[in-house]
Amino acid sequence: MKYEITKVFRFEAGHRVWKQNLAEGKTAVLSGYACTDNKCRNLHGHSYILEVTVGSDTLNEQDVVVDFYHVKNALKDLVDNVFDHSFIIDINDPLYPIFKEHFKDLKITVVDFCPTAEALAKYFYDYLVRKLKEANLEEDIKVVQITLWETATSKATYKGE
């Protein structure tokens, strides 16, 4: 893309990486298969920073890719009303039935994937791609990448195809 813009969002949310097992899998060799401290399997939260980058090879009639205002509003409901101050849980998480039954008064965001930073970045990417398609803008504006910061030192980026 010749032109790119990035809009930043912030939200607070909890989750758990229920599939985490640091002593197994191909990448465990990096730690010598020794780590058994699977902290992220516990319920915990983050002050997330979501960076949304969209782009185009041309500018529109107002000499912009798209106004930041429109990017903000395309994601505002999802960020503010669905994810912010919620607990994100995978419907396949063994704890999901307990949450569903016993925590009806809590704000729970149910997804169909383990809510890692990588998977959440893809979720936001796919959501914005759908919004652009619904607005018949998918030929004019492309989602370049989504970056989701979990902490000040840890982020995941999804770039799509």
Among 35, 40, 70, 138, the active-site one is 40
Catalytic residue at 70?
no
Catalytic residue at 40?
yes
Among 35, 46, 85, 118, the active-site one is 85
C-alpha span between 152 and 73 (Å, rounded): 25
SS3 80: helix
116 is written with which tokens?
């890692």
Catalytic residue at 161?
no
C-alpha span between 80 and 78 (Å, rounded): 6
SS3 127: helix
SS3 28: helix
Q: Are 50 and 148 in contact (CB under 8 A)?
A: yes
Which positions are annotated as active-site residues?
40, 85, 150
